[in-house]
Structure 1
Amino acid sequence: RGRDFRVVDTGGIVPDDKDFIPAEILRQARVALDEAAAIVMVVDGRTELAAPDLELAHLLRITGKPLYIAVNKIDSDKQVGLEGDFHRLGVKELFPISAEHGRGIDDLLDTFIATLPPAEENPNHLTTEDTKVTEKTKDNGGTAQEAQTAFTEEPTTDVRRPTTAPATTNDQQPPTDLHDQRLPTEVKVAIIGHPNVGKSTLLNQLTGTSRAIVSPIPGTTRDAIDELVERDGQRFRFIDTAGIRRKGKTHLMAEKLSVVMARKHLEEADIALLVIDATEGVSALDATIAGYAHESGRSMIILINKWDLVTTGQKRAISQARAARIQDSKRPNDQNLYLQRLRGALKFLNYAPVLFISASTGKNVEKIFPLLEEVARERRKRIGTGEMNRFLKTVDFERASVPMRQRVKILYMTQANVAPPTFILFTDRAVQLHFSYQRFLENQIRHAFGFVGTPIWIKNRARD
């Protein structure tokens, strides 16, 4: 129809409900109503009108915005008569529709598009809560809220970077000339973790909005919530996913679907922010969630949230093993000790940088953006074939702890892909690389070229 617009689906609104979640949904919906160019109120055509429907219609009418009533579940002509009772809402524009079958949607679209302001006057994107956003336009984005003063008493990051590079000769070009580190137009960042670790609070801090409902009740977020932030010309789309539970702990169908959708959004992202509760320590569930991201090839940054509660003594970091708890009790605020425990529990994420933050106060949240830019570049780094093979000659494979019968001779190697970096080895025989051999080579590649925060995939094939 030649118009771009964005549709925001709010949570169900019950005006008189004073419970926390319904009240927060209403508060977020008011933000959307203030910024909306038009409002569509959806009612169930197969149920009778109730007092909340009448009160909500009144609240919407007094906004002065164009208002339309969509009477849903009118699936056939036999049910069209059901719409008559809804004229009591006092809204002239009333449309019988079937959202499931698409019936009547065209008439609704044509009517409210005609009332939208000209394209150049179209309001900024809407922000509301508990939403599934159908995006039909380019988002204007938002700005990140200024974070508070960073921790100063101890280092807050642990970024694994190469210390030395392989020797080069005069006829070699500098490695940076062969690296393709251009960032994509939009970097998708999924915020993952188990329930109640502070993912929604972190999203609000990163975007400078109250985009997500924050509640101490685990499982508050069910649908993925996304927000676009533009910073120094680079756009980041942050996606707050539902907390991932163990399979045996998800009983309701809504919970099961939210976990499935969380993993789906994770696999569509470029980078995953793994949020860990500092007061709970690294659990087996944290390792499982991290494994999902690692195996799907997502780059990773580990965020230790609620560290302010540890440094102020309100809570202590909890380790999983009894001996570790005893040692931690002697140095409860030691970040280096905490990092040592974390690296031991998440050995397969030795490439992921670690940042200690407080999502509730905003401390160190501002440091996430430089890390995101660095990891996004590393994810798209490309090494030339010539440089890779010069590097290969410097590697002493005798140091790899691999049985002799499972060793292979690597003839040459090349980088076949980026995001994640994928290397192809051409060997003298068709055998699967031993795990130790592959890990040794990966460590050597990281030592020489970096690839901070991103997994490396290594494949091998026999020379024809």
Structure 2
Amino acid sequence: MKSLYKLAIVGRANVGKSLLFNRICKKNISIVHEKEGVTRDRIYSRALFDEKPFTAIDTAGLEANKLKLSLEDEINIQTQIAIEEADVLVMVVDAKVGVITLDHVVAKNLLKTKKRVVLAVNKVDTDRLKDKIFEFQKLGLKNMINVSAAQNFNVEELLSLAFNDFEFDENINLVSERKTKITIVGRTNVGKSTLLNSLLNEKRAVVSDQRATTRDSIDSDITIKDKTYTFIDTAGIRRKSKEKDILEKFSHSQTLKSIERSDICLLVLDAEDFITFQDKKILKFIEQKSKGCIILVNKWDKIKDVRQEHFLKALNQKKSYFPTIIISATKKLNLNKIFPLIERIQKNKSRNVQTATLNKFIEKCIQKNHPPMIDGKRLKIYYLTQIKNNPPYFLFFVNYPNRFSDTYKKYLINNFRKNFDFEGSPIIFGVKKKPQR
């Protein structure tokens, strides 16, 4: 089956590319801010033109000065990759600023690709700016259109111009087989983007030794044995005392949203830093959102044997149902273990346990440890049944729900984990009073 057409949005910094990208995709994906250089990676999303799906790509603002920090050079490379893989290019310029030298440089490079290039003259928010389009004729691009991403003006017309005469495959449907969504989370600078690049075998996310390089949540598809996974790389989460930049705060809210829409989270720890308070907070959030999780201890190759033993001892002592893999993202150590474990967790999330089996389990637990007496009345558990899966949800039917103490519930849950294979999967337990006959 033919792959989707790709449309890349390019241009210099701060011309409104990310807002236009969000308008095209009809959802807030890229961070929009008046500060330059907010978008740093290639951001991919499915979108529709005339009910036909295509892939939209948001890119970082192109920089003319190659003498800047290495990150800027890396960003230019990311944008160049998007230009090369796209079928049609949308160059965005600023009507309020007019033509500048960098616009000429960008247009010249895009014309060399021999691909269709549409010039989107953005920020035409008033009628008096509509004639500014004629000023941009000097760039040499024949397909031009006034747009206003802020007012959602001419966005559909822009797509019509971009995809004019393109033949879409009628067999391609936006709603295809559901992909497993994997979110890569962790503190700043633990190696999340390096891990993503190693899994992809390409440079998808910008990797730099500067802290907080990734700001947007980046979706990347990986297909292994006809199974497609959507990996979401996220911004690093810092301690609140250091969150002074509003962009970082927004990035973190995007990260939390990415966790919420994922099936499984890969929590990346830094072996050099051991397990931090912030790591535990992220893990707690994943648990609260009932997501599957794999803990990845990265940079294992950078610590000595004695420290490795200390780390392993600490991991063995932690009572977590989330499996742990020791990895090195740069050397690709143990990365081959990730996908089989993802599949196992997905199966565990879909697992069903028969009520008869559950009640035999409950009987054994009660025989070993009877429910406590509270206010002279003993809790009685009539039965346990599974209500649904993904995630698995079990319901206790009892005589007095308010007498089901947290301690006894924890005892039952711990034994449940030991008896049934739900490794890596969240489990939800509810309590309900048995209906009177």
TM-score normalized by the length of structure 1? 0.78
Q: Structure 1 residues 202, 248: closer, same or farther in 2, change over 3 A?
A: same
* Unpaired stretches in structure 2, ≥5 consecutive residues: 1-49
For 1:280 and 1:100, how far apart are their aligned partners in 2?
A: 43
Equivalent pairs, count: 384
| Local SS of the residue matching 1:426 | strand
1:52 matched to 2:102: yes
Aligned-residue offset at 1:398: 4.8
Deviation digits for residues 251-300 of structure 1 (CA, Å, limit 9, x no counterpart): 11111100001000101111111100001000000000111101110111
Aligned-residue offset at 1:403: 6.4
Aligned-residue offset at 1:399: 3.0
Match of 1:441 in 2: 412
1:257 matched to 2:227: no
In percent, how many aligned pairs have the same letter? Answer: 33
Q: Is the 8 A contact 1:97 1:103 kept in 2?
A: yes
For 1:403 and 1:271, how far apart are their aligned partners in 2?
A: 39
2:312 to 328, 339, 359: 339
Which one has a larger percent strand, Structure 1 or Structure 2?
2
Match of 1:281 in 2: 274
| Local SS of the residue matching 1:4 | strand
Aligned-residue offset at 1:333: 3.1
Q: Structure 1 residues 185, 137: closer, same or farther in 2, change over 3 A?
A: closer
For 1:285 and 1:391, how far apart are their aligned partners in 2?
A: 36
2:181 to 184, 188, 193: 188
Q: Structure 1 residues 399, 22: closer, same or farther in 2, change over 3 A?
A: same
Q: Is the 8 A contact 2:182 2:231 kept in 1?
A: yes
* Unpaired stretches in structure 1, ≥5 consecutive residues: 123-135, 140-183, 314-330
For 2:284 and 2:195, how far apart are their aligned partners in 1?
A: 22
1:220 to 196, 213, 222: 213
1:356 to 326, 332, 335: 326
Match of 1:86 in 2: 136
2:122 to 69, 72, 88: 72
Q: Structure 1 residues 272, 407: closer, same or farther in 2, change over 3 A?
A: farther
1:14 matched to 2:7: no
Q: Is the 8 A contact 1:66 1:115 kept in 2?
A: no
Q: Is the 8 A contact 1:297 1:419 kept in 2?
A: no
2:77 to 27, 30, 52: 27
| Local SS of the residue matching 1:216 | coil
Q: Is the 8 A contact 1:42 1:71 kept in 2?
A: yes
Q: Is the 8 A contact 1:192 1:272 kept in 2?
A: yes
Letter in structure 2 aligned against 1:7: A
For 2:93 and 2:171, how far apart are their aligned partners in 1?
A: 30
Aligned-residue offset at 1:226: 1.2
Aligned-residue offset at 1:402: 5.5
| Local SS of the residue matching 1:5 | strand
Match of 1:271 in 2: 264
Aligned-residue offset at 1:304: 0.4
Match runs of 1:157-168 below 5 Å? none
TM-score normalized by the length of structure 2? 0.83
Aligned-residue offset at 1:89: 1.3
Q: Structure 1 residues 301, 221: closer, same or farther in 2, change over 3 A?
A: same
Aligned-residue offset at 1:451: 0.4
Q: Is the 8 A contact 1:271 1:299 kept in 2?
A: yes
Match of 2:146 in 1: 96
Of structures 1 and 2, the one scoring higher in RCO (CA 8 A, sep 6+) is 1
Match runs of 1:395-434 below 5 Å? 395-396=365-366, 398-399=368-369, 405=375, 408-431=379-402, 433-434=404-405
| Local SS of the residue matching 1:119 | coil
For 2:51 and 2:395, how far apart are their aligned partners in 1?
A: 47
Aligned-residue offset at 1:22: 1.8
1:460 matched to 2:431: yes
Q: Which has the higher mean CA deviation after the structures are superposed, 204-213 or 256-265?
A: 204-213
Q: Structure 1 residues 45, 24: closer, same or farther in 2, change over 3 A?
A: same
Match of 1:450 in 2: 421
| Local SS of the residue matching 1:103 | coil
Aligned-residue offset at 1:76: 2.9
Deviation digits for residues 143-200 of structure 1 (CA, Å, limit 9, x no counterpart): xxxxxxxxxxxxxxxxxxxxxxxxxxxxxxxxxxxxxxxxx84211111100000000
Q: Is the 8 A contact 2:110 2:117 kept in 1?
A: yes
For 2:57 and 2:174, how far apart are their aligned partners in 1?
A: 12
Q: Is the 8 A contact 2:373 2:379 kept in 1?
A: no
Q: Is the 8 A contact 2:345 2:425 kept in 1?
A: yes
Q: Is the 8 A contact 2:185 2:266 kept in 1?
A: yes
| Local SS of the residue matching 2:53 | coil
Aligned-residue offset at 1:377: 0.7
Match of 1:131 in 2: none
Match of 2:52 in 1: 3
Q: Is the 8 A contact 1:432 1:460 kept in 2?
A: no
Q: Is the 8 A contact 1:400 1:436 kept in 2?
A: no
CA RMSD of aligned residues (A): 2.3
For 1:219 and 1:47, how far apart are their aligned partners in 2?
A: 30
For 1:260 and 1:306, how far apart are their aligned partners in 2?
A: 26
| Local SS of the residue matching 1:274 | strand
Deviation digits for residues 40-81 of structure 1 (CA, Å, limit 9, x no counterpart): 001111113222111111111111111111011112323212
Q: Structure 1 residues 227, 291: closer, same or farther in 2, change over 3 A?
A: same
Q: Is the 8 A contact 2:199 2:335 kept in 1?
A: yes
For 1:451 and 1:462, how far apart are their aligned partners in 2?
A: 26
Aligned-residue offset at 1:118: 5.2
Match of 1:391 in 2: 361
Aligned-residue offset at 1:394: 2.0
| Local SS of the residue matching 2:431 | strand
Letter in structure 1 aligned against 2:341: L
Aligned-residue offset at 1:390: 2.4
Aligned-residue offset at 1:400: 7.0
